[in-house]
Structure 1
Amino acid sequence: MPQFFLNKRLIILLVSIIILVALIGFSLKQREELTWPEQFVKDTVGWAQTLVSRPAHSIAGFFENVKDLQNTYEENKELKSKLNDLAQLKADVQSLEDENTKLRDVLDKQESLRDFEPIQATVIGRNPERWNELVIINKGSTSGIEANMSVITSTGLIGKVKNSRQLTATVQLLSSNDSTNRVSAEIIGDEKFYGQIEGFDKEREMLLLRKIPYEAKIKEGQTVQTSGLGGLFPSGLIIGTVEEVVPDEYGLTQTAYVKPSADFYDIEHVMVVKRTMTQPILSDMMGEEEEKE
């Protein structure tokens, strides 16, 4: 009797395995339609996935929207702060302009050493052998350009007009080693100090600002600009920044190495600056009396 039940169980197991294999093979066979049990299981699983995924996506989207809203709030706060600063700056500028106009009216001073008229020009010629000395521009005397007018780019002073013809003019760069190529300059800081641009160090590619008072405390990074006191250049034209200050050979004054703000190597478009204030006679500035006729 026990042997019979054992054989019966074995037979049921074998039949079940055969049926399972048959069902697997049947399900793997390419068919146009699924059986109703398969379709029921598939629909049930799909419905359950939808039921779970929708709330999950909704929750994830909610937290993502909250994060975006927080980022937008922070950006809006920062933009408002910048806008307030800009408005304050604009108000300060307007206030200073109004104050400057009133002071000029009170002093009856309509001219300034900073006043000038710019004349646009383009570089049309440059000698490779004198690349760091001269450039030729496409404007001349017919455009109002005269000798000794200062020449600038968008970044700073580059030199002065050496000579002017009818349609062209030659510009002498500050990087030229001409001993007569000098610029009266001032160093901007808590206290102003004056000196004179004389020469160019080719190895360091820096201008030499000489005759600075020995007691002057000059720091690296201070701005150097034209003083307007030399008789040729308007004041306020940017020349460069101080890189190093050393005593001169006699120890009586100091010399500053100035990194030019303009690029002397690559020059395309320039502005010739016509100073509007009356220029002094150079011989008067040197203490020489004019010859009597």
Structure 2
Amino acid sequence: MPSLFRRRGLMILLISFIILAALIGFSTRDRDSLTVPEKFLQDSIGWVQTIFHAPFQVADNTYQNIQNMLNVYEQNEALKNRLDEYKGLIQDNQQLEKDNAELRAALDKEESMKDYTPIHATVIARSSDRWFEQMTINRGEEHGIKKDMAVITSDGMVGKVQSAGAFHSNVQLLSGFDESNKISSYVVREGEDNVFGLIEGYDSESGRLLLEGIKLGEELEKGDVVISSGLGGVFPSDLRIGTVDEVQNDSTGLTKTAYIKPFADLFNINHVMVVDRDMDTVNTSEEGEEQ
């Protein structure tokens, strides 16, 4: 009995192998079309693959998009940093060119100074509460700086030393001058005698210096050059101050007041020269005391 069941099992297994081999042979042979079961099986597998593939494809695309966005962001940040670096280099180069031009002009100016010795200095600060009136330079008594020395740029006079420390000094700008600070000056007229006057103040609204005490009979032209006279005993002579811009009779009607446009830019100063005067001059009571 057991042998009968054993033979039947072997027969079933053998038949199954034969059927499987036949199906394999049938499916692998060249045919123009599939059978209905094969089509159903193929489509079923295809749909299952599509269903499982779609989420993975979406996830993969999303990941790739995120990676691309991160790469673009990183590249954008790198380009911004490079651009900022280039801007900084351009600004530094422009500032260096400006400083170089100022220093070259200062050296050229120094060569023309025969009666006094210039002390080169750099502006390191402007007064926060009196921005338009004071500044600090990196030279002091140890460098030969003294109170009331004239301070100039290559363009012209900008002020005077208000106080001198050992290594730094405060400079009072022309824009902070008033009646207590006077500069004896000449208006240079072509083909005629110079006209004397005193720089005694600054008109903040127009940005012009006030040249007071001009005699009524003197005729000044717009553009006439104003220089220091050297008669006050403090400032050297021939320091360029500015040009005549406008002339008016003063309130007393006895003298004229000239509005002087400064040669130097009083609000954009980086390098200056402090004038150490070697040549003595005389004081004249008739033409006023220079402070």
Residue among 199, 212, 222 paired with 2:224: 222
2:160 matched residue in structure 1: 160
2:172 matched residue in structure 1: 172
Aligned partner of residue 234 in structure 1, secondary structure: coil
C-alpha displacement of 1:131: 1.1
Moved over 6 A (4+): 281-287
**Structure 1 stretches lacking a partner, 5+ long:** 1-112, 288-293
* 1:259 and 2:261 are equivalent in the alignment: yes
CA distance in 2, matches of 1:251, 1:271: 39
Residue among 271, 274, 278 paired with 2:273: 271
CA distance in 2, matches of 1:279, 1:219: 29
2:142 matched residue in structure 1: 142
Given that 2:125 and 2:137 are in contact with CA atoms closer than 8 Å, whether structure 1 keeps it comes out as: yes
C-alpha displacement of 1:279: 5.2
2:244 matched residue in structure 1: 242
Aligned partner of residue 142 in structure 2, secondary structure: helix
CA distance in 1, matches of 2:280, 2:131: 33
2:233 matched residue in structure 1: 231
Given that 1:114 and 1:234 are in contact with CA atoms closer than 8 Å, whether structure 2 keeps it comes out as: no
CA distance in 2, matches of 1:249, 1:256: 13
1:183 matched residue in structure 2: 183
TM-score of the superposition, structure 1-length normalised?
A: 0.57
CA distance in 2, matches of 1:230, 1:283: 9
**Counterpart of 1:200 in structure 2: which amino acid?**
Y
1:173–1:248 CA distance, 2 compared to 1 (3 A) = same
Matched length: 175
Given that 1:116 and 1:273 are in contact with CA atoms closer than 8 Å, whether structure 2 keeps it comes out as: yes
CA distance in 1, matches of 2:265, 2:287: 31
Residue among 209, 212, 228 paired with 1:210: 212
2:202 matched residue in structure 1: 200
1:118 matched residue in structure 2: 118
Given that 2:250 and 2:256 are in contact with CA atoms closer than 8 Å, whether structure 1 keeps it comes out as: yes
Given that 1:114 and 1:228 are in contact with CA atoms closer than 8 Å, whether structure 2 keeps it comes out as: no
C-alpha displacement of 1:129: 2.2
C-alpha displacement of 1:284: 12
2:9 matched residue in structure 1: none
1:219–1:234 CA distance, 2 compared to 1 (3 A) = same
CA distance in 2, matches of 1:286, 1:182: 8
Residue deviations 1:191-235 (CA, integer Å, cap 9, x gap): 210000011001110000000111001011100000010111111
Deviates more, 1:125-134 or 1:237-246: 125-134
CA distance in 2, matches of 1:140, 1:236: 24
Given that 2:126 and 2:134 are in contact with CA atoms closer than 8 Å, whether structure 1 keeps it comes out as: yes
Given that 2:178 and 2:202 are in contact with CA atoms closer than 8 Å, whether structure 1 keeps it comes out as: no
CA distance in 1, matches of 2:132, 2:250: 25
Residue deviations 1:69-121 (CA, integer Å, cap 9, x gap): xxxxxxxxxxxxxxxxxxxxxxxxxxxxxxxxxxxxxxxxxxxx961000000
2:84 matched residue in structure 1: none
CA distance in 1, matches of 2:199, 2:228: 9
C-alpha displacement of 1:245: 0.4
**Structure 2 stretches lacking a partner, 5+ long:** 1-112
Residue deviations 1:258-286 (CA, integer Å, cap 9, x gap): 00000011010000001111355799997
CA distance in 2, matches of 1:269, 1:138: 10
CA distance in 2, matches of 1:271, 1:195: 24
Given that 2:183 and 2:199 are in contact with CA atoms closer than 8 Å, whether structure 1 keeps it comes out as: yes
1:13 matched residue in structure 2: none
Residue deviations 1:140-163 (CA, integer Å, cap 9, x gap): 000000001000001000111011
1:165–1:115 CA distance, 2 compared to 1 (3 A) = same
CA distance in 1, matches of 2:288, 2:206: 32
Residue deviations 1:165-190 (CA, integer Å, cap 9, x gap): 10001111111044322100000012
Structure of greater Rg: 2
1:118–1:177 CA distance, 2 compared to 1 (3 A) = closer
C-alpha displacement of 1:128: 2.9
CA distance in 2, matches of 1:252, 1:284: 16
1:114–1:245 CA distance, 2 compared to 1 (3 A) = farther
CA distance in 1, matches of 2:188, 2:284: 25
